[in-house]
Amino acid sequence: MQFFIPPRENFFRPLTHENRELCSFVLRALHERVHGANADYAEVLTRELVLEVIQHALANPAMRDMAFEAGQTVRAEEERTYASDLLRKLKEHGWLEDYRDPIDLRPTLKLSRAGKAFSETFANLDDSRAKTRQRNMRSARKALAAFIATRDADELLDAHEFASRVVQDLQDDIEYFRHLIQSLTREALAQKIAWNEFNDFIEKRFAREYAVRLVADSAERHRGQINEALEDVRALDGEQRAGVDAHLLQRAPWLEQTAQGRSPLLWLADRIESMVDAACGLKLPMLRSEMNNYVRRFTSLLRQALSLDYGAESPLGRTMAWLKEQPEPAREGLLDVLARRLATAEIRLPGGVLRWTVRDRESEAVAHAPLIVDETSRLNALLRRAEAEAFTFSDQQVLHGLLPHLQGGPITLAALPVDTAEDAVRVLHAVGAARSAEGRRLIQARKMAGQVRTTYFQADDYELRVEPQDGMDEISSSTSRRH
């Protein structure tokens, strides 16, 4: 597809003039008016409406100075002429296009496809509005749930598209904090503290957006539900999977080459899981780290500014005020005395790892009891170690404990024995071990409708099934080792 062809051959020309900021402001306002959250979809985009948006932008003094000379008296006719000229340029270069309303056949305007895409970019760059960045995680989860309910291939493709945006959402947040740190550094070099940006972050962005995103709306919360939905997707039988694969190849032909002979359904499920895991395992810790860096950097600069104490009532402030009031010979004499005293001094900055601590030199070190190693101390240490390791199981240990129970076929958690505390812990960790990197190769875990209830706990029930090849080989090797 060629982009710069009529009528878009000079698409970006309106954004190269001196009033380009005004033009982008108008485009952002048009997008919000027609496609934004508060858009009135019953209202068509007429010529008068576009002129009204441009004139509203001209009412802003900062935007008005870009269109007319500062201090110039501008009549209403001149404003309308300017608005008509800007409207003509937007139509001429492909941002707006004529459109005939199919209901009353009235000539109207609309943002072209390219105009809508780029004006939406201008609108999304506005950081003053709180955005729920986990919206794509929620959308992916809901699309997977809709696919499981309806077997609609489009829902699975939508889930893949939403999941592909999750990493970019978190990367945008990381870049936002890096921008704040750079801005904070520039302000510090100019001997100012970026109070406005910090207050805006704490009061608007963090309280309304990031606190919810990192706690109540954490990506980890949606990750578990997405993984459960993906297990249901993978559990479809052969006939259903073949039907979905055929629809997927019909709706998205690119899958045939990308999947490379695999089932498109399974390829999409694995891809969605890998993208969500990358977002939660890599980008989310980076986001927390960048946020911590910003707060720590601001706290350090604030502590440094407060420690300087330039107030008028401080000793330094009183000295500077006294110097200011003295005649020049007295000031010069005092400064010469200070210079001679400081001439032999050496000033150094402590390193970043150095911490000043208050020590009481008069207090004596507490004498420690002598270290005694005997049979009783060895026994106590052994008991403490045994208590700490009593209920510590690796995924591999849980899997080896589960495989013998699967020799007779699929089994539910409710059917597993819970005779000892070790059995109870194995049942609790069975699903997590089955979904681990090694467990996925050996066991399939499918969520059931009911629940498992024991004397010790109550949880959702799952059916465990051995994978055809690797699982049976592992059971055989495990049985031979026991014999």
Express each pLDDT in 175-220 by its tens digit.
877 777 777 666 655 555 555 665 565 555 555 555 555 554 466 6
Please enumerate, as own/partner, the contacts of 109-114 that have beta carbons within 8 Å and a separation of 24 or more.
Answer: 109/45, 109/46, 109/47, 109/50, 110/34, 110/45, 111/30, 111/31, 111/34, 111/35, 111/45, 112/8, 114/3, 114/8, 114/11
Q: What is the pLDDT of residue 12?
A: 92
Alpha carbon 50 to chain centroid, angstroms? 36
Residues 24 and 112 in one domain: yes
Q: Are residues 121 and 142 in the same domain?
A: no
Whether 22 is in a domain gets the answer: yes
124: helix, strand or coil: helix
Tokens of 423: 């059995």
Domain CATH for 85 = 1.10.10.10
- Does residue 228 sit within a domain? yes
pLDDT score recorded for residue 86: 92
Report pLDDT for 217: 47
The verdict on 411 and 279 lying in the same domain is: no
In this prediction, the residues of the chain whose per-residue pLDDT falls under 50 are: 130, 216-217, 310, 352-361, 482-483
Of 126, 147, 171, the position where a domain reaches its end is 126
Res 147: pLDDT: 92
Residues 166 and 301 in one domain: yes
Q: For the chain, what is the domain count?
A: 3
Domain closes at, from 126, 155, 172:
126
Residue 184 lies in a domain: yes
Q: 153 and 117: one domain?
A: no
Is 287 found in the same domain as 267? Answer: yes
- If asked whether residues 114 and 169 sit together in one domain, one would say no
Q: State which amino acid sits at residue 204.
A: K
Has residue 371 been placed in a domain? Answer: no
Domain shared by 204 and 265, yes or no? yes
Q: Give 7-38 as a 3 state SS string.
A: CCCCCCHHHCCCCHHHHHHHHHHHHHHHHCCC
| 264 found inside a domain | yes
Same domain? 268 vs 403: no
128-140 exposure pattern, b = at least 16 Cβ within 10 A, e = fewer: eeebebbebbbbb
Question: Is residue 365 in some structural domain?
Answer: no
Are 479 and 404 contacting, i.e. CB atoms less than 8 angstroms apart?
yes
Whether residue 7 has a cis bond before it, omega within 30° of 0:
yes
Distances (CA, A) of 476 to 235, 243, 407, 415: 24, 35, 9, 22
The answer to the question of residue 241 being in a domain is: yes
Please tell me whether residues 121 and 140 are part of one structural domain: no
Structural Rg of the chain based on CA atoms: 34
pLDDT given at position 216? 44
Residues 408 and 426 in one domain: yes
Token look-up 């001439």 returns 343
> Tokens standing for 47?
């010529």
Predicted TM-score of the model (pTM): 0.48
- Work out whether the CA dihedral 373, 375, 380, 383 comes out positive or negative: positive
Q: What is the residue-wise DSSP string for 239-255?
A: HHHHHHHHHHHHH-THH
pLDDT, residue 40, reads 66
What domain range includes position 400? Answer: 390-466
Per the CB < 8 A criterion, the answer to whether 132 and 217 are in contact is yes
The enclosing H or E element of 449 equals: strand 443-453
Same domain, 180 and 293: yes
d(CA 10, CA 147): 43
Q: From CA 170, how far away is CA 176, in angstroms rounded?
A: 10
